[in-house]
Amino acid sequence: MTVETVEYGGVKYAEIIWANTKVDKTTFYSPAESSFQFGLLAHEAGFKEPPHFHKPIERSIDDLQQMFVVQRGVLAVELYSDEGDLLREIEMRAGDAIVLIHGVHAIRVIEDMQCISVKQGPFLGEAEDKVFVDVKK
């Protein structure tokens, strides 16, 4: 398994890039119109990208996606429907990455872990940023 899309009822909840995924050339998995772009960079030895910067273009973003890249340990990412039903539990290990695109999510740490977490900013504080949800057990 390499890249996996988690979809329910026609809604994309997450995409997983498993640690064993290999590409020969740079490959982006997010659609061009997505507010969060992610993929794998791959180049042959000797490649050199010219110095550059990205144009400061004002963008309007009304969703907030988040990416975890597991550096060490083991965790389970739980994905829930909008109604609070558990859709899937995904066990992740070092090198695995997941982009949370839609819906309620939670994590459960199985072994002491450390992840890189990336999401759009600015961070407005937990009271403004997070909505805690009662889910079905």
* Distances, alpha carbon 100 to alpha carbons 40, 50, 55, in Å: 17, 32, 26
Apex 37 CA angle, 36 and 38, nearest 5: 120
Contact of 77 with 107, CB cutoff 8 Å: yes
Model's pTM, two decimal places?
A: 0.86
3-state secondary structure of 55: coil
Phi then psi for 115, rounded to 5 degrees?
-130, 150
Q: How many residues does the chain have?
A: 137
Confidence of residue 47 (pLDDT cuts 50, 70, 90): very high
Residue range 91-113, pLDDT digits in tens: 999 999 999 999 899 999 999 99
Residue range 65-74, pLDDT digits in tens: 899 999 999 9
Q: Are strands 66-80 and 27-28 parallel, antiparallel or unpaired?
A: unpaired
The highest-level CATH class for domain 3-49+62-125 is: mainly beta
